[in-house]
């Protein structure tokens, strides 16, 4: 598989046929500086996911405290249970800010003239792999977050309590860690069903609006090319046989969905329009051919975190496929 991107000699229906080697790409000297920067961020991603997966919440302690408002011991027990959890939630939020900067650095590298998106993917193979890894992490994080209502409950209790205790002039050490301003920003982050995806969507939109001299097509073509490549890899037995594990298959599906969502937020008419460079019917079909329990989270991401699905320009067939 040597190369991340092997360009084949044929194109069908104007969709590119590539193989992205998500398993073996290594940075060239020209990529090394940006690659090291992104790699330093990504090395913490697995520990973030492990922490989120292990997040149990303080639901029992909070319920007892609310039911017994005059019992000081129960109030303290709930508070002492929630505080370390809020510190953990702050770590996740701060990681999203690091991820946002990492994505913008990657977009700069993968969209700058004079190269086309395809040429960039050929030349900066390891950076394209890191872009894919960011998307993979993002969808995994958001899938776990959506299944864990304790996060919102814990943080809501924290905000109510810290507000009440400030009125009572109680000294709270945690305010050094999560003050009111930080709590407000975190609250906006966790209010999103898919907070990491929202962060990346905003970062991509911001990148396009800030780089006014860069044609928007440089960014959208990079995203649509990656989506099309992932679709072809998933639907072609010859390519799928090269995956060394089921996890690589899931990786490829998450990347495909991630770039579709970013494209839909950045492109003026979105991913679902007839003029879109992404074969949405083909992408949805590939997902629906997998076991439902493995892809339901990805289909929900397309249903609920895209921007243009409910536009009039979206075909009834595509809407029906996602119902």
Angle CA 259–260–263, to nearest 5: 85
Bin 3: left if φ > 0, else alpha if -120 < ψ < 50, else beta.
beta
Cβ 193 vs Cβ 146: under 8 Å: yes
- For the chain, helix (H) and strand (E) counts, in that order, are 15, 2
173: DSSP letter: G
Over residues 38-74, the pLDDT tens digits come to 999 999 999 999 999 999 999 999 999 999 999 989 9
For residue 163, the model assigns a pLDDT of 78
Average pLDDT over residues 145-159: 94
The verdict on pTM exceeding 0.75 is yes
**Spatial distance between the Cα atoms of 145 and 143, rounded to a whole number of angstroms:** 6
146, HSE (Cβ side, Cα atoms, 13 Å):
19
Instruction: Output 125 or 41, whichever has higher pLDDT.
Output: 41
Write the pLDDT tens digit of every residue in 184-243.
999 999 999 899 999 999 999 999 999 888 889 999 999 999 898 889 888 888 877 877
Is the per-residue pLDDT at 15 higher than 70? no
Q: Which two tokens stand for residue 214?
A: 């860069």
Asked, as a colleague might, if the bond just before 114 is cis with ω within 30 of 0, I would say yes
Residue with more model confidence, 268 or 162 = 268
Count Cβ atoms below 10 Å from residue 169 Cβ, excluding itself: 6
How far apart are alpha carbons 237 and 240 in whole angstroms?
A: 5
Q: Which residue has the higher pLDDT, 172 or 156?
A: 156
CA angle 227, 53, 290 (to 5 degrees): 40
pLDDT tens per residue across span 64-115: 999 999 998 999 899 999 999 999 999 999 999 999 999 999 999 999 888 8
Q: What is the pLDDT of residue 24?
A: 76
Which pLDDT value is given to residue 223? 93
Q: What is the mean pLDDT of the chain?
A: 86
Q: In angstroms, rounded to a whole number, what is the distance separating the alpha carbons of residues 254 and 140?
A: 8
Which of 245, 229, 218 is closest to 282 using CA atoms? Answer: 229
């Amino acid at each position: 598989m040597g190369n991340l991107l092997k360009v084949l000699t044929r194109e069908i229906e104007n969709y590119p046929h590539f193989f992205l080697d998500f398993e073996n790409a290594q940075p060239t000297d020209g990529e090394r500086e940006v690659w090291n920067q992104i790699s330093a961020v990504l090395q913490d991603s697995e520990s973030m996911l492990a922490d989120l997966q292990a997040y149990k919440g303080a639901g029992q302690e909070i319920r007892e405290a609310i039911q017994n408002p005059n019992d000081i011991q129960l109030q303290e027990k709930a508070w002492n249970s929630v505080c370390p959890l809020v510190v953990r939630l702050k770590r996740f939020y701060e990681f999203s800010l690091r991820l946002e900067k990492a994505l913008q650095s990657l977009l700069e590298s993968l969209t700058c003239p004079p190269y086309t998106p395809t040429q960039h993917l050929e030349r900066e193979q390891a950076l394209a792999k890191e872009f894919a890894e960011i998307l993979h992490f993002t969808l995994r994080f958001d899938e776990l977050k959506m299944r864990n209502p304790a996060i919102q409950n814990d943080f809501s209790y924290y905000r109510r309590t810290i507000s009440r205790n400030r009125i009572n002039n109680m000294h709270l050490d945690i305010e050094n860690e999560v003050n009111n301003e930080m709590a407000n920003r975190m609250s906006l982050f966790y209010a999103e069903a898919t907070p990491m995806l929202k962060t990346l969507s905003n970062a991509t939109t911001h990148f396009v609006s800030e780089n006014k001299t860069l044609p928007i097509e440089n960014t959208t073509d990079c995203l649509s090319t990656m989506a099309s490549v992932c679709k072809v890899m998933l639907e072609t037995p010859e390519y799928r046989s090269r995956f060394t594990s089921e996890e690589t298959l899931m990786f490829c599906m998450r990347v495909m969905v991630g770039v579709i969502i970013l494209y839909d937020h950045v492109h003026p008419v979105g991913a679902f329009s007839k003029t879109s460079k992404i074969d949405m019917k083909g992408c949805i079909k590939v997902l629906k051919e997998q076991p439902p329990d493995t892809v339901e989270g990805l289909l929900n991401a397309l249903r609920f975190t895209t921007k243009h699905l409910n536009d009039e320009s979206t075909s009834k067939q595509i809407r029906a496929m996602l119902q």
